[in-house]
Amino acid sequence: MSILIARKVRKTYGKRSLAQEVLKGIDLEVEKGEFVGIMGPSGSGKTTLLNVLCSIDQVTDGFVEINGQKLQGMKERTLAKFRRDELGFIFQDYNLLDTLTVKENILLPLSLSTIPKAAAEKRLQDLVSILGISDILSKYPNEISGGQKQRTSAARALISNPSLVFADEPTGALDSKTATALLDNLSEINKAKNATIMMVTHDAVAASFCSRVLFLKDGQIYTELYKGDKSRTEFFQQILNTQSVLGGEQGEA
Amino acid sequence: MKLSQLVFKSMQKNMRHYYLYFFALIFSVTLFFSFVTLQYNESIIAATKVSGTASSGFEAASYMLYFIVLFFVLYANHLFIKRRSKEIGLYQLIGMTKGLVTRLIAFENILLFIGAVSIGMVLGLLSSRLFAMILLKLLQFDAVVTMTFSKVAVVNTLMVFGVLLVIILVQMAFMVRKTTLLSLFNASKQADERVKSFSVFPMMMGAIGLGLIIYGYYRSTVLFTGQTTNLFLSMVIILATTIGGTYLVFRFSVAFLLNLFRLTKKGHLNLTDVLALTPIMHRMKGNAKSLTLITVLTAVSLAITTLSYISYYSASSSAEDEMPADYIAVDGREEPFIQALKQEGIAFEQKTFRLTSAQFDLATIFSGDVIGMFQGNTLSDALIIPLSDYHQLNSKVQLNKGEAIITGFSGFQSNIMPIEAPIDLTLLHQESEIPLRIKEVNDTAVLAWRVTAGGFIVVVEDSVFNQLQRLNSEYAIGYSTQEQTSINLTNADEETYKQVEKLYKQTGANVLFKSHEGSTVNKLSSQRSTVEYNLNLFGTTIFTTAFLGLAFLLATGSILYFKQMSEADEEAESYRILRKIGFTQDELLKGIMMKQLFNFGVPLLIGLLHSYFAVRSGWFLFGTEMTTPLLITMTLYIVMYIVFASLTISYYKKIIKQAL
Ligand SMILES: Nc1ncnc2c1ncn2[C@@H]1O[C@H](COP(=O)(O)OP(=O)(O)O)[C@@H](O)[C@H]1O
Ligand SMILES: [Mg+2]
């Protein structure tokens, strides 16, 4: 069953003569339990696509359905509650609150929930030990490194056991060891909890953790690759090949 | 690009920042200009002639106003620069010299000032008409207000704001000179207040702050009693302890208590904690000074407004104390007046009180502190009226044998030297002694102040009264007045009152005392003319202090509002994040309301408390009634604060809405 369906999604920034069409009609379906990667050159609209899929941004045209519910036409309040209960976010620029400690930041999505403190504490301890940030819990964001911020952001995304996780360049600021740890962790959550994950990345290694990779170019889906029964190394090689066919500078997001 | 082009470009881009500063400037000019225009207005000068001190009062007030304006504009400018620190840094980054940046900003400021002064003067002229009408109404002066563009006022305002501009330019130049690029970019980042471990120091400092405030309050309650030996020193101590204490409470207790609370949550915050508690803690170090200032200014302006309102409010109630009836006549002089009223068919009520005198020893009813003031001579006169006459005012009162009540004991006197019933009082007349038990002391005004000369009245059983009257007919002591008649008109209109006022004078009913040759005549005034006289005497003072109070209130309210506006701008990013991860606008707004409850509520609450104790310590020097004027001004302040808080919340609402 498809957990996410996007039909003819268009997104235009700016008005009239300044208008820039970033997404030019995207059709997309994601099955429950999939780990989908989105790749593409910088400025190709990856972040924009993620934002419209997860209801943070509005589409100009077309529609998006999550769990059979059409986002367009849903009330702002219902959408927000939906995001809070069903979705998890790992943002490119972390999006941590400066005034909160790491622990408070991670527990933020639960601040209006009825989950008992002990259960929340258990989830938190599990996550931070997997992500290796147990000893910075009482620090503030301006006292920790970029990688630690990203892992905090990941912990916050997963604390509410979301059915769909959106991750924008989650490994962008991490060294390869931490990046692998985080990706392993995402895979594990994907498998063990059958959580669906959509991850934007420009890193072929990161993409090779996915079960399917979409390539975005000029606002359209250029092609997609399935991992199938291939090993990770084979899949990685295939991604690299597609990237080189696709061209364009790949360096950053 | 030429400098002027650059200026216009950057002004255009920064309209939102300017708007606030520009508004603050216009507001200050309007306030100042309308006040100065008022000061030089002909009808106002004519109306305030009665009180000889009006013009010097106006002048003193305009200096005060200048300080308010100075402080307010400097503060607004400070916020303005802070909000633009990034832009200023950017100019330097693209290679502008500091000299050029300074000139650029100076140019902008001159433009802003010219605009604000022009607009402010026009608005000021309009509002001064309104203020003039209010003032004349206060003075009960019937005149059509014609407002003219006063040259003196224009010159005055131009000079004041010219000087202000120079000060601001110097301040700006100084700031641009001494700042490094890095510090400019970081200027909008606040100092961070967090106490990681349970620490004794802030707890002690906070406790000391609280102790200081309580001590100051205590000193204020005994300021005008026998316990205070040096009045000036006491006032200084009270001011120092309450202001210092307030700062310590803001600087240490608040963050400390909030932090303790936060620690108990062990990281599991709810949304209100996230939106209200943590930002407040985060900013407390930087905000303590301004919150203290705002609290103190609120308290001062509230106290000033209340005291002036007390005197205004008391203008009629103290007139009622002075003249407890519309018209009062003594010793039978009312006869021709009453005849005239009947002839004219004017309805009225009349009450007659028989009077006699006795003596008593002050030392028997007042405490030692007070007795010291009389320097040994403690024998005093008391006015006596019989119970049956008193029944005209209060028919319920009953006296057993040997009982009496004291009435007409109010205001200043009753505050400085209170009498607690029940108490024994022995009336004396030469060798005779009449021991009485006072069962009640009240402040009902019965006789004209001019008749009692400030003394209280003892209401006794008729038999006692008769005994004293007999004694006085043999050997008269004390008061000479034998009888007072109070006359109140029933259902009279304005015209009738004017007519009766004439009759009152023509018939000579207003004569209190006339020497045999007729060379000295003491007269009573009707209650209405007493009110008018009081209003005229206090009207200007009341108006200027109320004006200043209002200026203070608006300035502090605006500062809180401006402060919150820039805080909201700085926190827009947090709201964006919170909305992204699924919090609704309503949920965020609820947290923001809690935050505003703190930001506006705490300075208001402490300010109200401070002003309450300030007013309580000496209100009786200003009038006869504290509770109602205090409640009314406090309500007014609370309402104004609610207005400012709502403005703030609606600004936050906009920011939250735009955040995503
Ligand atoms: N809020 C916005 N307003 C206007 N243009 C935007 C906005 N966000 C993104 N863009 C433009 O849309 C394009 C795609 O941006 P983005 O989705 O961030 O790309 P990517 O994440 O793939 O690097 C870019 O050209 C960017 O300039
Ligand atoms: Mg991106």
In DSSP terms, which residues pair with A216 in a beta bridge?
Answer: A221
Written as one letter, the residue type at B656 is I
Give the pLDDT confidence of B439-480 residue by residue, as tens digits. Answer: 888 888 888 887 887 778 889 888 888 888 888 888 888 877
Would you list the DSSP string of B204-250?
A: HHHHHHHHHHHHHHHHHHTTTSTT-S-HHHHHHHHHHHHHHHHHHII
Question: Is A219 near ligand 1, meaning CB less than 6 Å away?
Answer: no
Residue in A47, A92, A111 to test binding to B, most B beta-carbons within 10 Å:
A111
Ligand 2 mean position to A197 CA, how many Å? 17
Q: Does residue B496 contact residue B489 with C-beta atoms inside 8 Å? A: yes
User: What is the nearest CA distance from B595 to chain A, expressed in angstroms?
Assistant: 14
Residues B377 and B453 sit within 8 Å (Cβ to Cβ):
no
Query: At a CB cut-off of 8 Å and minimum separation 6, what does B409 contact?
Result: B419, B441, B442, B443, B456
Query: Under DSSP, is residue B485 helix (H, G, I), strand (E, B) or coil?
Result: strand
- Asked whether the predicted pLDDT for residue A252 surpasses 60, the reply is no
Mean pLDDT of A12-30: 88
- For residue B560, give the DSSP letter: H
Distance A52 CA to ligand 1 centre (A): 12
Residue ranges making up the domain that contains B134:
1-190
Counting the structural domains of chain B, the total is 3
Q: How far is Cα of residue B627 from the mean position of the Cα atoms in its chain?
A: 13
Residue B278 DSSP one-character state:
H
> A92 C-alpha to center of ligand 2: Å?
7
Model confidence at B105: pLDDT above 60: yes
For residue A249, pLDDT over 70 is answered with no
Q: Give the domain-ending residue among B496, B525, B554.
A: B525
Is residue B504 located within the same domain as residue B537? no
pLDDT score at B18: 76
Between A223-237, B283-297, B413-427, B639-653, the lowest mean confidence (pLDDT) is in: B413-427
Nearest CB among A84, A98, A117 relative to B582 is that of: A84
- Cβ distance A203 to A239 under 8 Å? no
CA dist list (Å): B515 to B330, B337, B473, B520, B537: 15, 21, 21, 6, 29
Q: Is B198 exposed, middle or buried (0-12, 13-18, 19+ CB in 10 A)?
A: exposed
- The answer to whether A111 contacts B273, with C-beta atoms less than 8 Å apart, is yes
Q: How far apart are CA B588 and CA B571, in angstroms?
A: 12
Residues B251, B380, single domain; the answer is: no
Whether the upstream peptide bond of residue B422 has omega within 30° of 0, thus cis, is: yes
For B275, nearest residue in chain A (alpha carbons): A99
- Mind giving me the DSSP string for B165-206? HHHHHHHHHHHHHH--HHHHHHTTSPP-----S--HHHHHHH
β-bridge partners, B628: none
Distance B651 CA to ligand 1 centre (A): 28
Return the amino acid letter for A85: D
A150 lines ligand 1 (CB under 6 A): no
Each residue of A51-90: pLDDT tens digit?
999 888 889 999 999 888 888 888 888 888 888 888 999 9
Nearest to B187 by CA among B284, B73, B80, B294: B80
Supply B181's token pair: 């690029």
Q: Which residues of A touch B280 (CB under 8 A)?
A: none
Higher pLDDT, B190 or B551: B551
Residues 6 or more apart whose CB falls under 8 angstroms from that of A93 comprise: none
- Do B86 and B142 reside in the same domain of the chain? yes
Please tell me the number of Cα atoms within 13 Å of B563 on its side-chain side. 24
Does A115 reach chain B within 8 Å, measured CB to CB?
Answer: no
DSSP B507-535: TTTTEEEE-TTSS-EEE---HHHHHHHHH
- Mean pLDDT is highest, among A233-237, B174-178, B346-350, B566-570, for A233-237
Phi, psi of B217 (to 5 degrees): -60, -45
Q: Are B554 and B27 in contact (CB under 8 A)?
A: yes
Q: How far apart are CA B555 and CA B502, in angstroms?
A: 48
Q: Which of residues 557-586 of B touch A (CB under 8 A)?
A: 574, 576-586
Cα B409 from Cα B455, distance rounded (Å):
8
C-alpha–C-alpha distance, residues A37 and A202, integer Å: 9
In angstroms, the CA B578 to CA B310 distance is 50
| ipTM (interface predicted TM) | 0.89
CA–CA dist B356, B470 (Å, integer): 10
Q: What pLDDT does residue B181 have?
A: 61
Q: Residue by residue, what is the 3-state secondary structure of B565-608?
A: HHHHHHHHHHHHHHHHCCCCHHHHHHHHHHHHHHHHHHHHHHHH
A197: tokens are 């994950």
Chain B closest CA to A173's CA: distance in Å? 19
Interval B351-405: pLDDT, tens: 888 888 888 887 777 766 666 666 667 788 888 899 888 888 888 888 888 888 8
Nearest CA in chain A to B586: A77
Residue in this structure with the two tokens 């007014």, named with its chain if needed: B636
Interchain proximity A97–B577, CB inside 8 Å? yes
Band the pLDDT of B194: cuts 50, 70, 90. very low
Q: What angle do CA B488, B490, B492 make, to 5 degrees?
A: 105
Count CB atoms within 10 A of the CB of residue B377.
Answer: 7
Q: What is the tens place of the pLDDT at every residue in B39-59?
A: 887 777 776 665 555 667 777
Same domain, yes or no, for B179 and B234?
A: no
Question: What local confidence, expressed as pLDDT, does residue A251 receive?
Answer: 45
Question: CA B205 to CA B194: how far, in whole Å?
Answer: 16
Q: What is the pLDDT of residue B53?
A: 59
What does pLDDT average to over chain B? 82
pLDDT at B417: 74
With contacts defined as CB-CB under 8 Å, which chain A residues touch B269? 100, 104, 107-108, 111
Q: Which atom of ligand 1 is nearest to the CA of A253?
A: 23
Q: What whole-number distance in Å separates Cα of residue A112 and Cα of residue A84? A: 10
Q: At what angle do helices B527-580 and B494-506 cross, to 10 degrees?
A: 150
pLDDT at B187: 46
Each residue's pLDDT tens digit, A170-201: 888 778 887 888 888 888 878 877 889 999 99
CA torsion B261-B263-B268-B269 (nearest 10°) is: 40
Question: Which residues are paired to B349 by β-bridges?
Answer: B488
Beta strand A69-70 with B432-441 is unpaired
Residue nearest to atom 26 of ligand 1 (CA): A43
Sheet of B327-330: strand order equals B327-330, B483-489, B348-354
What is the rounded CA–CA span in Å between residue A14 and residue A36? 29
Looking at B149, B171, B190, the residue that finishes a domain is: B190
Tokens 């500063």 belong to B21
**Same domain, yes or no, for B506 and B531?**
no
Three-class secondary structure assignment of B610-643: HHHHHHHHHHHHCCCCCHHHHHHHHHHHHHHHHH
The A61-66 sheet, strands edge to edge: A20-31, A2-13, A61-66, A69-70
What is the sign, positive or negative, of the torsion defined by CA atoms of A56, A214, A92, A170? Answer: positive
Q: Whose CA is nearest to atom 2 of ligand 1?
A: A13
One domain, residues B244 and B314: yes
B474 and B503 in a single domain? The answer is yes
Residue B521 token pair? 């005549």
pLDDT at position B54, please?
63
C-alpha B582/C-alpha A56 separation (Å) is 9
B397 and B272 within one domain: no
Q: State the pTM of this model.
A: 0.77
At B445 the pLDDT is 82
Residues B547 and B506 in one domain: no
**Do B512 and B545 sit in the same domain of this protein?**
no
Tell me the pairing of strands A164-168 and A196-200. Answer: parallel
A to B CB pairs, distance under 8 Å = 84
**Distance (Å, whole) CA B297 – CA B554:** 11
DSSP state of A219: T
How many beta carbons lie within 10 A of that of residue A90, not counting itself? 27
pLDDT of res. B182: 62
> Residue B342: what pLDDT?
86
- Rounded CA-CA distance B634/B470 in Å is 53
Q: Please provide the size of chain B in residues.
A: 660
Regarding predicted confidence, which is higher, B540 or B599? B599
Residue with tokens 């120079």: B166
CA distance B272 to chain A (A): 9
pLDDT tens, residue by residue, B596-627: 999 999 999 999 999 999 888 888 777 777 88
Find tokens 């994950």 and name the residue. Answer: A197
How far is it, in rounded angstroms, from Cα B598 to Cα B568? 15
- Asked whether A44 lines ligand 1 (CB < 6 A), one says yes
Q: A80, B281: Cβ pair inside 8 Å?
A: no
User: Do B41 and B105 sit in the same domain of this protein?
Assistant: yes
Residue of B nearest to A77 (CA): B584
Count Cα atoms within 13 angstroms, Cβ side, for B606: 25
- Which comes out higher in pLDDT, residue A21 or A248? A21
Last residue of one domain, picked from the residues B134, B164, B190:
B190
Q: What is the mean pLDDT of residues B533-555?
A: 80
* Distance in angstroms (rounded) separating the CA atoms of residues A150 and B49: 75
How far is ligand 2, taken at its centre, from the CA of residue A51, in Å?
A: 10
Q: What's the length of chain A?
A: 253
If asked whether residues B95 and B217 sit together in one domain, one would say: no
Buried b (16+ CB within 10 A) or exposed e, A123-132: bbeebbebbb
Percent of chain B past pLDDT 90, that is, above it, reads 16
